[in-house]
Structure 1
């Protein structure tokens, strides 16, 4: 099922499968800002990564002496969410544990995903609730892909702060123990496919909490992620999109021991508690 929200400036569409955002359109210019999901390159638009971000070593983990398997980025993106609230400019989706999820992730939980339009800005919120009686380890992340209608090299990313970006190259989808410096030019990263020949750029930390996407040096959107300590930037070589990915957590490292409670970057949520985080996309 597809749900839509609209105001005088923006119209968005969300698929109840995965509570996945599938469209951000400017009502004034009719420009579409989200990737269309052409499977020739990548058949997603903006999947939600939960309860893990990235890949686990051997797609497996251990918890309390038991072995479990989880696919890359977890299972939420493939689950049907329920709409629990819908207003003129805000909608909230909910996913709770079920038999299938308990077999791979043994926790009673609720994941609420909200989308709210405030003038020319879309705010995406995540509320993670631990309904179980034990500490719940989890990660969560966004994965929105923004459509690029011009040549890839016409675009650049302008970071909020001047900084040296330290990327951790992936080895077999795991975080390696190597690092690479991503050079900025006056806070800007000109886009080129050679940056992504070895998959995503993975940043365990960044001083910047805002990034602008520039088209021929003119800002077209403003991406804000104040609550997220980790970040990924990704495309497929030759594809006309760029993914800006705010993460709470990241893939296993090559040295990971498989214990989910000890996983690097994991968040431990106490019993019967919740955590709320958000990011936003401002169309300029």
Structure 2
């Protein structure tokens, strides 16, 4: 099933499976979200929960029991319930179940709220700990923006000056090795060689927004005020770029396997609710 929300400027389409944004178009029918061609990557904008990235050995232990969680967690591969909808907004819910506790032994509700306002789509994540003990989790966005013309025509411009030091992956885990991007005027010119070692992973970032430009003309802006970490990713010759605000990231190569000790993890107390928000502005 799919839900469509719209206003006088934009139309967004959200698939109930994964509560995944699959289309964001202007009223002139210009599409901004990657089409999901499986030749390159068959998704559009999955939500990453209750982990971001890969766990060491794809597992963690809790109360002396070992659990197995696949890369980026299970939310993106589960059916959400539409619990509220208006012409320009939709709220989706995923709750813990007998299926989820087999791989993640915590009681939760994850709500994802999409709202269109003028030329902006906001996405709010609400995580509620419905259990009696503290709950460790990560959450992240993974929107892929379509780049229909030559990849090298595009540039990512950051809001602030950054160190532009990013961490290299080793067997899908974050290693201690880093590289530094050569950046001029806070801009990263895109080319596929940047992603030879997989994603660019910034554990900390000062900027709260970035802009994608084509031939120096801004196309869209991603705002991520709440998020401390960021990933940028594409695949060889793929006509899209992913801009991924995160709370948390893949395990480091030294990780202990205790989810509560995981670098970048969020700890939510019983009956507490976590909120975060990012937005896509068409410019």
Task: Tell me which interval the TM-score lies in, with the shorter structure as reference length.
Answer: over 0.9
The correspondence of residues 1-20 of structure 1 with structure 2, limited to 5 A, is 1-20=1-20
Alpha-carbon shift at residue 201 of structure 1 (Å):
0.4
Deviations 1:92-113 (A, max 9, x none): 0000011110101111100000
Q: Secondary structure at the match of 1:102?
A: helix
Q: Are positions 1:187 and 2:183 aligned together?
A: no
Normalized against structure 2, the TM-score is what?
0.99
Shift of 1:179: 1.0
- Match of 1:208, SS state, is coil
Tell me, in whole angstroms, the C-alpha distance in 2 between the residues paired with 1:268 and 1:243: 27
Moved over 2 A (4+): none
Q: Which residue of 1 aligns with 2:87?
A: 88
For structure 2, which runs of at least 5 residues remain unmatched after alignment?
Answer: none
Matches within 5 A, 1:62-141: 62-141=61-140
- Runs of at least 5 residues in structure 1 that lack an aligned partner in the other structure: none
Contact 1:14 1:23 in 2 (8 A): yes
* Residue aligned with 1:176, SS: strand
- For this pair of structures, how many residues does the alignment match? 283
User: 1:164-198: per-residue Cα shift (whole Å, max 9, x none)?
Assistant: 21100101100011111122110110000000011
For 1:224 and 1:258, the matched residues in 2 are separated by: 32
Q: Using the alignment, how far apart are the partners of 2:162 and 2:13 within structure 1? A: 35
Q: Distance in 1 between matches of 2:147 and 2:233?
A: 13
Residue 77 of structure 1 aligns to a residue in which SS?
helix
Secondary structure at the counterpart of residue 57 of structure 2 = helix
The whole-number CA distance in structure 2 between the counterparts of 1:210 and 1:252 is: 25
Counterpart contact for 1:164–1:184, Cα < 8 Å: no
Partners of 2:125 and 2:214 in 1: CA distance: 29
SS of corresponding position for 1:251: coil
Q: Distance in 2 between matches of 1:242 and 1:233?
A: 7
CA distance in 1, matches of 2:207, 2:276: 17
Please, what is the CA RMSD of the aligned residues?
0.6
Q: CA shift at 1:88, angstroms?
A: 1.6
Q: TM-score, normalised by structure 1?
A: 0.99
